[in-house]
Structure 1
């Protein structure tokens, strides 16, 4: 039964957020779907129940989501719009070191970079990500990390490590 409850809880919350409804039909449907998802994949997704149920990690996840949607996305969209209008860009692929250790943390960082306009992770291994960047300002790995993913890693560590 390891991982069933946290997976079902996350699936239920996601279902309700995406449907945007708290009607009884949607709550019951969401509950049924969440239990099914939890039973089917919970044991594969969660390695330790204690970590997954830690409310501090969930709080950091919520804080990260709000920060990402309001700050990171807004800054990146504005930057890409300006670069598109002015034609001022210097695209390229840079090697960026990654310090997070767990697969979940690496996935969060890579997805955050890819979902943010102007950057796409094209490859990832245990030590480095290779990021296609719309405006390469440095090819120095540590400096590129500071500009591209330092904040993402900070939150990933608090949530998943």
Structure 2
């Protein structure tokens, strides 16, 4: 029951922050939706209840989201804009290793790569991501990983492993 309550509370908090409203209607709607989703989903989403109480994970998640949404996204957007105007493109698909073992960690890395302008994960197979990259600077897997996903993977380990 503890797991269900915690997941429901997190979903409720996410709903309130996302909507930006605390009217009685939104609070009631948020509680109902969070309970309807949180109770059945908690068995699938949480394998270890102790991880839910680890405050350091939430701090890392906050810093990751803040850094990703500001610094990393901005730099990637400016790089793509520059490439559009200069037509300096070197596209290709590279194979990069992924060392994260948890499925949520791997998902965070894949989504982060795909949401970053200039890179898209096109396949995942046997511990490797295949990434379509707008500017292939190296086809060596480890060098490509350092350029594309190393920072994302560091946060994935801190948050999910």
Give the structure-1-normalised TM-score. 0.94
The structural deviation recorded for 1:20 is 1.6
Structure 2: which 5+ runs fail to align? none
Instruction: Count residues in correspondence.
Output: 161
User: After TM superposition, where is structure 1 displaced by more than 3 Å over at least 4 residues in a row?
Assistant: none
- 1:58 equivalent to 2:54? Answer no
Separation in structure 2 between the aligned mates of residue 89 and residue 10 of structure 1, nearest angstrom: 42
Report the more deviating stretch, 68-77 or 26-35: 26-35
The structural deviation recorded for 1:125 is 2.5
Q: Which residue does 1:129 correspond to in 2?
A: 129
Q: Which residue does 1:80 correspond to in 2?
A: 80
Closer/same/farther in 2, CA of residues 142 and 82 from structure 1, 3 Å limit: same
Separation in structure 1 between the aligned mates of residue 51 and residue 126 of structure 2, nearest angstrom: 22
Give the structure-2-normalised TM-score. 0.94
Structure 1: which 5+ runs fail to align? none
Q: Retained in 2: the 8 A contact 1:97–1:142?
A: yes
RMSD: 1.3
